[in-house]
Structure 1
């Protein structure tokens, strides 16, 4: 347990769930699988760092609220940990909820950046009734709502890794 051996206890969730702290000799072992995708620990850490880099490129900063609007999957775990790495606030959004409900939660939380695999029609509707300014999709490029910046899987693959944000408890 942290503290018993002189270790400092994690003060923020990003420290508790540290994908950079690879288990000794396990970088090539499976970290996540969802029946469609599989990532090793090394791939997972790299993908989290690159996804955080793309979110930062979209203008997200520590303390910003970023919506994660994905079904439970490898992509959703990557998105959550990328948001934490950035020092932002992860706002979980039910990918199966009606658009008006998702929009209300986004508005209440102040979400301007969204990680979503929703259809272009859903993204356009969300953009029309919220302050959405940026979308990261863990799939291929698609249609982008007017006034919204969009990044995709290709951008993640070529992005430089983001350093971990220096954050602490409030």
Structure 2
């Protein structure tokens, strides 16, 4: 378990940046500020420091009284968690449910493991994940080309490619 100073460092250097920048919908001013202060590099440095001190980890971080998360320090642990999702590692964290429930309340990502088992086959069929090329690829590619051309037109006209123009396009 991390001591109080280490908890503060992890919260400030590792977890604050993605939260402030916007985990689902990016906040352009916050992204610019984080880039100016190289917040992501600070997070990487903190993770390296923790791994040097604690080894492969994981280490527990206390978010609130009674609520802890594991901070994975080893790439093998990250792969294990991703490969063993949704059970025993659920992707439906409190934060993810809070962020996505109003967009997709019945979505597989924020579902319980049993509901996810029921919903996942529909997603697999819609995404056609077993196919190399989606059956609607041609239509999607054309729509993407049109949007990119509009963005290039903006770039040619203004001489800049900014977040507002990009987020409007996407």
Do both proteins adopt the same fold according to a TM-score greater than 0.5, normalized to the shorter chain? no
Richer in strand (by share):
1
- State TM-score, norm by structure 1: 0.28
Higher relative contact order (CA 8 A, sep 6+): 1
Larger radius of gyration: 2
Richer in helix (by share):
2
